[in-house]
Amino acid sequence: MSDVTDTVENAVATQHGCPVQDSHGQQVLHASRDQYVSVIKALADEGYEMCVDLTGVDYLANPHRTIGFGIQPERF
């Protein structure tokens, strides 16, 4: 029974193959470097006209910070 619960609790919402989170009422897609262009094109095809806050985060100063489930850290 706990295996099923763990799986449901760890399920990650995705959009266009990217993990999605809600941050302060805004949808945040965590696209990998390889997914970025195809995700932007797919969003443009859906009618989005603007992508705000393309960001990168450097965790070198805080190596123990947790990263959301399903998000793969990588260097750009």
Q: What gap in Å lies between CA 47 and CA 24, rounded to an integer?
A: 22
Task: Report pLDDT for 39.
Answer: 93
pLDDT digits (tens, 9 = 90+) for 7-63: 555 667 899 999 998 888 988 888 888 898 999 999 999 999 888 777 776 666 777
What is the token pair recorded at 67? Answer: 């990263």
Please tell me the predicted confidence (pLDDT) of residue 52. Answer: 78
What is the model's pTM?
A: 0.57
Instruction: Spell out a b/e string for 61-76, using b for 16 or more CB atoms within 10 Å of the CB, else e.
Output: eeeeeeeeeeeeeeee
Q: Which pLDDT value is given to residue 1?
A: 46
**Does residue 70 have a pLDDT over 90?**
no
Could you tell me the residue ranges of all domains in the chain?
A: 14-58
